Amino acid sequence: MIGLTLFHAPNACSEGIALLLRVVGVAHDIRIVDLSRGAQRAPDYLAVSPKGKVPALRRPDGTVLTEFPAIAFWLAKRFPEAALIGDGTEAETRALELTEFIVSSLHMRGFTLMKVPQKFLSDPAAQADLRAHGRAEVERGLSRLAEVLGSRPFLLGRFGIADAAAFYVLRWAEQEDLPLATGLRALLRRIEALDRPAPFTP
């Protein structure tokens, strides 16, 4: 019996958790949540994740974890052999700090406003302003990531949970044809090169 089940929407932030599961190499089950059809609001999914969003990870004991940083942190601690987080409190804290910045600032305050301003405002002119604001937040966030990366191969030196968060936002940046620093493009290619399949049940 497979012990881990990821509730996942392709091209959503859950891509980063799917990546971590593949990098760890643990067998897992994938359940697709079709956001375009509102499956995240369906009663059967709300019974799993009352927040109605992805990712959600059901563990062997039946409990469910939500929120990208929490799931990523749990995977890093549960599978220490994958070395997804540094050793010691300071290194772990810095990894969580950077992961949270990517999720809360680049994703939520940036890409969400840029990609779906209609969720917040009905007026087209106001939507355009919100979209522009979101794009500016994304560009600032990407600039910060480039500074953190510097000349290192991965954000904190070796691949870890923050890189898994960067994985999906950098893909979004490419999809939106946003300017990306050479180092960030190289980072995305390195992460993609690590993306090897693990056994899973569709």
The total number of residues written for the chain in this structure: 202
Q: Are residues 101 and 134 in the same domain?
A: yes
> Do 44 and 105 share a domain, yes or no?
no
CATH of residue 119's domain is 1.20.1050.10
Residue range 20-46, pLDDT digits in tens: 999 999 999 999 999 999 999 999 999
In a domain, 27, yes or no: yes
pLDDT digits 0-9 by tens, 92-144: 999 999 999 999 999 999 999 999 999 999 999 999 999 999 999 999 999 99
Here the tokens at position 202 are: 């569709």
Domain that holds residue 64: 5-82
Q: What does residue 122 show for φ and ψ, rounded to 5 degrees?
A: -100, -20
**One-character DSSP codes across 153-172:** SSTTSS--HHHHHHHHHHHH
Same domain membership, residue 44 and residue 101: no
Report if residue 167 sits inside a domain.
Answer: yes
Are 78 and 92 within one domain? no
Tens digit of pLDDT for each residue in 49-75?
Answer: 999 999 999 999 999 999 999 999 999
Q: In the listed set 29, 64, 82, which residue is the last one of a domain according to the structure?
A: 82
161 near 24, Cβ under 8 Å?
Answer: no
pLDDT at 153 over 60: yes
Query: Same domain for 54 and 109?
Result: no
The two structure tokens encoding residue 18:
């799917």
Contacts of 123 (CB under 8 A, 6+ apart): none
**Is residue 20 a contact partner of residue 78, using CB atoms and an 8 Å limit?**
no
Strands 28-32 and 64-66: unpaired
We report the CATH number of the domain holding residue 15 as 3.40.30.10
pTM of this structure: 0.92
CA distances from 129 to 25, 40, 120, 148 (A): 43, 28, 12, 29
